[in-house]
Amino acid sequence: MWKSRFHVAPPYGLLNDPNGLIYWKGEYHLFYQWNPNACEHGAKHWAHLRSKDLINWETLPVALSPTDSFDKNGCYSGSAIEKDGEIHLFYTGNVKNNGVRESYQCLATSKDGVNFEKKGPVIHDNDIPKEYTRHFRDPKVFMENETYKMVIGAQRVDLTGTVVVFSSKDLINWTFDKEVINEDFGFMCECPDFITDKKNSALLFSPQGIEADGDLYNNRYQSGYIIRELEEINKNNFIELDRGFEFYAPQTFIDEFHKNVLIGWMGMPEELDHPTIEKENWVHSLTLPRTLEITKNKILQTPHPNLKKLRKEKIQLEGIKIKNSLNLSEFGICGDTYELIIDLKNLDTDFKIDLRVGETEKTTFSYNYEKKKATLNRNHSGAGYTGTRSCSLKELEKIHIFMDKSSVEIFLNDGEEVFTANIYPNKSSLGIEIMTKMLFTIPMIKFFRI
């Protein structure tokens, strides 16, 4: 009853990071970290899906399995790049011998986009500079100034987190360049990425061990970015990509429209208290694809335009006067799989929307106009984790919600902020209610059943 209708989820077992995202020969390839053996972290495989539109996915054979000496305890996260017409996958071979970790950055290639041939390590465990521990993983490869670069998440020997970069001319021979973060980011930085969009660039990564600070950094681990060039090592203003609850280890790729697109893991390491495990033998899914725009001081994230393909029946309301509360079910607006867009231009009072409303359940997004604060509350959502997450927001002008069977993604003001969360309500909790403190006329509500 909680299996995602339009999010990528595993058939069984555990899914974590999206890997190897690439638009290649007119098709999207998506891989994810998969443990097919149990709903827990274990020997990771690369599950493989293919799509013409980023929406309808076809399952292909598993691309990588942990069967070799250099990856026997897991084919960990990594990325894809095209060279000479072939897909090149770079991933971390995780090895543990008597509890001692080794880390190999490995290559696998494919001519047909279905069968992958492992070529073994290109950065050997012995090549890891002595300044770092074996928490050295998640190669993301890209081209900059005619040189291939690989960013890798790393831990210094003093147990602080950073990101390092290697260079190569041929994707085979790699040399260590330097650290690209000179501050401490917790005890480990996972899944780094680097993107450029016209004039602006951003370094993305998922630091572990940053302490909560008011409304900031409240998830167990964070995922975020610094607006900067790869070389601007002293710029360390870290911004979270998502305000919670489940969002981690995102990866980007360039889509058919030449835009940077991001997909994240809708999950969190070490948090496995999800009711799907016991009831349905699967856990976690990926976020929807988000188109990124890098501005001078922020990354904006909007739902990928191809998601419009999911839209079925449409209900549109205009100029709806509301004071106190309005039950949208009266207009046929309700359900457990939908897209909902509410235009709130000129909002001058507190606003609240309850989703998946049932007799005793509701998931509440609210905006406090005085405090300029947006909050997602899942204390009454049903089964699973509870809690609230908040962020400051100068104005609330628009909310754009994607509701799936066990998740909700809420985009604010065309991607200024995003909240992503798993919720596990009852089947019968389908209501949607809106509340305002003072009289307000909502310019437009658009609802699409999915």
Structure tokens at 238: 């870290």
CA angle 14, 274, 281 (to 5 degrees): 45
Candidates 48, 93, 40; CA nearest to 66 is 93
Residues 191-220 that bind ligand FRU (CB under 6 A): 191
Residue 269 CB, nearest approach to ligand FRU (Å):
5
Q: Which two tokens stand for residue 62?
A: 């598993």
Q: Does position 44 bind ligand FRU by CB under 6 A?
A: yes
**Which residues have a Cβ under 8 Å from the Cβ of 307 and sit 6 or more positions away?**
55, 288, 289, 339, 402
Residue 186 beta carbon to ligand FRU: minimum distance, rounded to whole angstroms = 13
Least spacing, CB of residue 326 vs ligand FRU, in Å: 41
Please tell me whether residue 409 binds ligand FRU under the rule CB under 6 A: no
**Which residue in the set 36, 42, 269, 443 belongs to the binding site for ligand FRU (CB under 6 A)?**
269
Q: What are phi and psi of 63, to 5 degrees?
A: -85, -40
Contact between 249 and ligand FRU (CB under 6 A)?
yes
Q: Is 33 in the site for ligand FRU (CB under 6 A)?
A: yes
Which residue, 43 or 357, is less far from ligand FRU as judged by CB? 43
Host H or E run for residue 280? helix 276-280
Q: What is the DSSP letter of 199?
A: T
Q: How far is the CB of 57 from ligand FRU (least distance, A)?
A: 20
List 17, 255, 354, 404, catalytic entry: 17
Shortest gap between Cβ of 134 and ligand FRU (angstroms)?
12
Residue 237 identity: N
# residues near ligand FRU by CB under 6 A: 14
375 binds ligand FRU (CB under 6 A): no
Buried b (16+ CB within 10 A) or exposed e, 183-199: ebbbbbbbbbbbbebee
What gap in Å lies between CA 200 and CA 239, rounded to an integer?
A: 15
Residue 137 engages ligand FRU in binding (rule: CB under 6 A): yes
242 binds ligand FRU (CB under 6 A): no
Position among 17, 102, 336, 361 found at the interface with ligand FRU (CB under 6 A): 17
* Residue 190 binds to ligand FRU (criterion: CB under 6 A): yes
Q: How far is the CB of 93 from ligand FRU (least distance, A)?
A: 10
Single residue of 71, 102, 138, 416 touching ligand FRU by CB under 6 A: 138
CB of 63 to ligand FRU, least distance (A): 15
105 or 260: whose CB is closer to ligand FRU? 105
Asked if 387 interacts with ligand FRU (CB under 6 A), we say no
Of the pair 74, 289, the CB lying nearest ligand FRU is at 74
Distance CA 181, CA 185 (A): 8
Tell me how far the alpha carbon of residue 205 is from its chain's centroid: 11
Separation CA 127–CA 114 (nearest Å): 30
CA-CA distances (angstroms) from residue 406 to 3, 136, 254? 7, 33, 28
Which x/- pattern, by CB under 6 A, does the window 66-95 give for ligand FRU?
----------xx--------------x---
Q: Can 215 be counted among the known catalytic residues? A: no
Q: What is the DSSP string of 77-140?
A: EEEEEEETTEEEEEEEEEEEETTEEEEEEEEEEESSSS--EEEEEEE-GGGS-TTEEEEEEEEE
Residues forming the site for ligand FRU (CB under 6 A): 16-17, 33, 44, 76-77, 92, 137-138, 190-191, 248-249, 269
What residues act catalytically? Answer: 17
